[in-house]
Structure formats: C-alpha cells, structure tokens
Amino acid sequence: MNQPGKEIGPMLVGELQFDSGLVTICDHWTVWPEEGVTLAVRPGNYRIFVNGKDFGGERRIASVSLIDRLCRTQELRTQEVGEVDVDSWGVIIGQYRAWHDALPEAAQEGLGETQFGTYPDGCELFDLVAGGQRIQVARSFTGFGSGAYPVESLWDRDQCVGLVCEFIYQVS
C-alpha cells in the first residue's frame, strides 16, 4: 500500500531458531506453506525486525524482515520471490514443514484462535511445543490489513540470509 508517513525503525522484535533450511511466510489464519512463500536458508538463529510508520500518532507495521544472525553486512541484495495473500490482517513466519508434521490438520486450523488469542497491532514471537516438537514462529500485523504483499529474499553473496515483506511503502 502506497502511504506517506514518518519512518520508524528498524526495531528488533526477537530471535527464532530454525533447525531445517526452509522458512515460510503466509497468512496468519491459513498457515499453509502452499499459500505463502517458502525460501531455503541455512539452519541457525534468525532475527526478526519490523519497520513502522507513524501517521500523526497512529503507528502501523510497514515491513517485517527475517535476517540470519550471522549476517554482518548492511549491503544485502534483494530478489523478488513472490507475494503473500493475506485476508486476516497478519502473517506468520516459521518452519511450516515441522508445523505440519507435528500437528494434525484439525489442530492446525484451530490453533490461531486458541494459541494466539487476540491479534495485537504489532509483531510478536511464539515458542510452541506440538507433537513433542519445538516450533518457533513470528506473527506480524500487516499495516492496514488484508492484501497481497510482496516478499523479497535477502542475499549476502551467494547465500540466502532471510526475507522481507513490505506492507506499507511509498512510491516516489
């Protein structure tokens, strides 16, 4: 969404640990990798950052990014990899193969309401245990709500080190 506003951030939300090399971003209520964007990254610890915009006191999440903690460069290359369709005002970032292997389908569909509760206007991390497996996810509000949002992979030389999804942007 093209909107003016004062830039805020980046702000560190926290850190997630991924044991496998696949990370997915998708709609908060859908939670199906096939309906989001999945990237191959190296296993490790990843930081979640958000950038915001202030509209005269009303603050919104403008973008969310996931970046490998070992990445030390500020000069990352980006590559557009798709978009995530959102109709629930939020996205989830996590390892969905582990998610789907650990939870039966019925439990996955009800988890949004029972585990996550009321949706805040921000970004937060969850550390879940399902099927004896630890699953970490980040959930982020999408600025002004539902829509199709571009996802870009972040590259340090020849290694994918994360992703960024923009919800509010300004076209000059």
- pLDDT in the model for residue 152: 97
Is the peptide bond preceding residue 10 cis, with omega within 30 degrees of 0? Answer: yes
132 in any annotated domain: yes
Quote the domain boundaries for residue 106.
6-166
Give CA–CA dist 65/28, Å, rounded.
Answer: 16
131 in any annotated domain: yes
The predicted model scores a pTM of 0.84
DSSP H or E stretch at residue 164? strand 159-166
134 in any annotated domain: yes
Residue with more model confidence, 121 or 10: 10
| pLDDT tens profile 11-51 | 999 999 988 888 999 887 766 667 789 999 999 999 999 99
1 in any annotated domain: no
171 in any annotated domain: no
172 in any annotated domain: no
Per-residue pLDDT averaged across 48-61, rounded? Answer: 87
How distant, in Å, are the alpha carbons of 30, 92, 116, 158, 161 from that of 112? 9, 10, 5, 36, 28
Q: What percent of the chain has pLDDT over 70?
A: 78
Q: What percent of the chain has pLDDT over 90?
A: 32
| pLDDT tens profile 63-82 | 999 999 998 777 899 999 99
Give CA–CA dist 102/172, Å, rounded.
Answer: 45
Residue with more model confidence, 105 or 54: 54
Identify whether the C-beta of residue 45 lies closer than 8 Å to the C-beta of residue 17.
Answer: yes
Q: Residue 120: count other Cβ atoms within 10 Å of its Cβ.
A: 12
Q: What is the domain count for the chain?
A: 1
- pLDDT in the model for residue 9: 82
Per-residue pLDDT averaged across 139-150, rounded? Answer: 88
